[in-house]
Amino acid sequence: MRDFNITKYKGNTHYTVNVTDSFGQEHTNFFKTEDNCVLYVYQVWENEVDKRNPEQELLGRAIKNCIEIDKKSGRTPSLD
């Protein structure tokens, strides 16, 4: 899912760089040189952080497992 786009609009003195990391997070910055834009792309990709909440994912998996246990034992799944 990684992607990047470097643009310089007519009349501007700076380049705009848009970067998407592996987790779909979008980052935007502005630089005077294209080389600095490329360095920024690498910096973002090297320092990617999954900003999803790991506790929520763990809870979701636990609830899913409880539902599967209920189904296998012939019970109607309930979150009560």
For residue 41, give the 3-state DSSP assignment.
Answer: helix
- The pTM of this model reads 0.63
Q: How confident is the model at residue 80 (pLDDT cuts 50, 70, 90)?
A: low
From residue 61, alpha-carbon distances to 21, 37, 54, 68 in Å are 25, 39, 11, 11
pLDDT tens string 5-57: 999 999 999 999 999 999 888 999 999 999 999 999 999 999 987 777 777 77
Question: Three-state SS for 23?
Answer: coil
pLDDT band at 4 (very low <50, low <70, confident <90, very high): very high
